[in-house]
Amino acid sequence: MILVSEKVYKLLESRIDGLKKEERVERDADQRKTYDEVFDQATLMNIYKLIIDKHLDTLDFPISTGKEANVFKGTTPEGESVAVKIYRIATATYKHFKKYIEGDPRFRNVKGDHRSQVYTWAQKEFKNLKRMCAAEVRVPEPVTYIKNILVMEYIGTEEGAAPMLKDIELENPQECFDILVNAIEILYNKGRLVHGDFSEYNILVPDDDIVLIDVGQSVLLEHPMAQEMIERDIKNLVRYFEKYKLKTDIAEIRAKILKDDLQELDNDEQPSEEAADDINGAQGS
C-alpha cells in the first residue's frame, strides 16, 4: 500500500486546489467523497512525480467529471495551461476497457486486474493522441502520462474549458459537418484509427477550431471491432446534424471515408507495430 508522507502531502496541498484545507471544509459530503475517490494515495504520488519531473506545477480547478475519469486544468512551471485527466483507480468502470484493449497489438499481455487495466487505458489514450497528432487530426496534443494520469493540451480559457458541440448553436453547421467528416476520413485513412465514440459530447468547439477529445477507446483498423465502430461514428455524426436539416447521405459519407472499399484490409498495408510506434513518438514517463 502506498502512503504519502506528511512532507509530500504538504507540498501537494499547496499545489492542488482541491486539497487545500479551506477548500475541504467548504465542500459538502458528496464533493468530499468525489475528491477522496480521485485523490487516493497512489494518485497523489503520481501527481507528486509529475511535479518533481516539472510536467506540472499546480492543479487549478476541475473541468469535467466522467464515468471513469476527472479532468482538471493545470499549470506547468513555465505558466502554460494543461489538461490533467485522472482515471479513478477506485471507481472507474473498467470492465468495458478490455474489449478495446484486446486485439490491439500495442498492448499484448496486459494483466486483467483493475489497476493494470486502468493504467493501460491511460497509456492507450496517450498513444492514440500521439498517433492522431501525427496524422494531423485536431486533438489535444499529449504531453506525458504516468500510471492513471494523462497530461495534454488544455483547450479553453483561464475561465473554463471550451464548450462541447452539444452546448452551442452553430452559425455554419454545414462547414462544421464537412470538417468533422474530413476528420473521420483522415483519422481512418492516414491515422489508421477509428475514434469509436464520435458524438457531440466528445467534440470541443473553441473559437475558430474544432477539437476531438476522449480517444481512449479508439482502435487501430486491424482491431476486430473497427468496422462496427466506424459505422457507429458515421451514424452518430449524421444523427446529430439532422437537427440542422442538412442534406446528408450515410452511404455517400461511408464511401468517402472508406474509399468505397469495405473488404477486409490487406494486412500487408497495415503499419507494423514498430511503424505504429514511430508514428506514436516517445511514450510518457
Instruction: Specify the DSSP class assigned to residue 16.
Output: B
Question: To which H or E segment does residue 211 belong?
Answer: strand 211-212
Q: Which residues contact 106 (CB under 8 A, 6 or more apart)?
A: 124, 127, 220, 273, 276, 277, 280
247: region left, alpha or beta (phi > 0 left; psi from -120 to 50 alpha): beta
Cell of 158: 483561464
Q: Which of 60, 104, 214, 233 is catalytic?
A: 214
Q: Which of 81, 84, 148 is nearest to 114 (CA)?
A: 148
Q: Which of 197, 233, 261, 268 is catalytic?
A: 197
Active site residue 40: no
Entry field: residues in the chain:
285
Q: 64 in helix, strand or coil?
A: strand
d(CA 182, CA 177): 9
d(CA 224, CA 9): 45
Residue 32 exposed, middle or buried by CB count within 10 Å (0-12, 13-18, 19+): middle
The residue type at 249? D
Question: To which H or E segment does residue 119 belong?
Answer: helix 114-134
Active site residue 113: no
CB 252 within 8 A of CB 209: no
The residue type at 168? I
In the chain, how many H helices and how many E strands?
10, 9
Active-site amino acid positions: 197, 214
